[in-house]
Amino acid sequence: MRAGRLTNGQFAWLLMLPALALFLAIIAYPLISSVVTGFFEQSLVRPGRAFTGLANFADVLGGDFWPVLRNTLVFTAGATIVPFLIGYALALALNAGIRGSGLMRGLFLFPWVIPGVVVSFLWLWIFNANYGVLNGILLRLGILDAPVSWLGEPATAMIAVIVTKSWASFPWIMVMLLAGLQTMPKELHEAASVDGAGAIRRFISVTLPHMKGIASIVVLLEFIWNFQHFDTIYVLTGGGPAGATETFAVAVYDTAFKGFDLGHATALGGLWMLLLLVLVAFYLRHETKERS
Partner 1 sequence: MTTMNRRDALRLLGLSTFGVAALAACAPDATGGAATGDAAAKTFGFTSWSLNEAAQKAAVQAIVDAYAATNKVKIATASFPYNEYLNQVVLKLRGNQLTGAVQVDVAWLGALAAMGKLRDLGAQASAGGYTDVALSSGKFDGRQLGLPWTTGSIGLIANTELLTKAGVDGMPTTIDEFEAALGKVAKLGGGVVPYAAATKAAQLKDIFPWMQTFGSPLLSGDQVTIGDEPSVAAVEWYKKLYDAKLIAPDVDRFDARALFSQGKAAFYDDAIIARGVVASQSPDKALVQKMAPLSRPVLKAGDTPQALLWGHVIAVVEGEGADAAAEFARFATSDTATVADFFQKVQLPPTTTAGLADPKVAGDSFTTEWTEKITKTATANPFWRYAADAQIESAVAEQVQAVLVGNSSAKDALAKAAEAVEGLQK
Partner 2 sequence: MTVTLPRPATLPRERVRRRLRPDQARSRVAAWIAVAVIGLFGMFPVYWLIVTAFTPDDRVFSFPPSLFPSRITLDHFADLAKNEQLFGYLVNSVIVSVITAVLSVVVSAYMAYAFSKFRYRGRKSLMHLVLASQMFPQALLLVTLYAVFSAVGLLGSYTAMILSFTTFTLPLCVWMLKGIFDTVPGSLMEAAAIDGASRWRTLHTIVLPLAAPGLVAAGLFAFVRAWNDFIFALTLSSPERQTLPPGLVHTYLGEFQTAWPDLMAASFVVSLPVIAAFMFLQRYLVGGLTAGAVKG
199 binds, among partner 1, partner 2, none (CB under 5 to 8 A by kind): partner 2
Near partner 2 in 176-235, by CB under 8 A: 176, 178-180, 182-183, 193, 198-199, 210, 213-214, 217-218, 224, 227-228, 230-231, 234-235
Taking the C-alpha atoms of residue 257 and residue 277, their distance in angstroms, rounded to an integer, is 25
241 binds, among partner 1, partner 2, none (CB under 5 to 8 A by kind): partner 1
SS3 at position 80: helix
SS3 at position 104: helix
The residues binding partner 1 (CB under 8 A) are 24, 28-29, 32-33, 35-37, 43-49, 129-130, 147, 149, 151-154, 238, 240-244, 257-261, 284, 287-288, 291-292
Near partner 2 in 43-72, by CB under 8 A: none
- My answer on whether omega of the bond before 115 falls inside 30° of 0, hence cis, is no
Q: How far is the CB of 198 from partner 1 (least distance, A)?
A: 37
Q: Is residue 254 a contact partner of residue 44, using CB atoms and an 8 Å limit?
A: no
53 binds, among partner 2, partner 1, none (CB under 5 to 8 A by kind): none
73 binds, among partner 2, partner 1, none (CB under 5 to 8 A by kind): none
Helices (H), the chain: 8-23, 29-37, 55-62, 65-94, 101-108, 110-113, 116-126, 133-140, 154-182, 186-194, 199-202, 208-227, 231-236, 248-253, 262-291
First to last CA, the chain: 39
Decide if residue 282 touches partner 2 (CB under 8 A).
no
Q: How far is the CB of 204 from partner 1 (least distance, A)?
A: 29
Taking the C-alpha atoms of residue 261 and residue 45, their distance in angstroms, rounded to an integer, is 9
Contact string (CB under 8 A) for partner 2, positions 230-249, x = contact: xx--xx------------xx
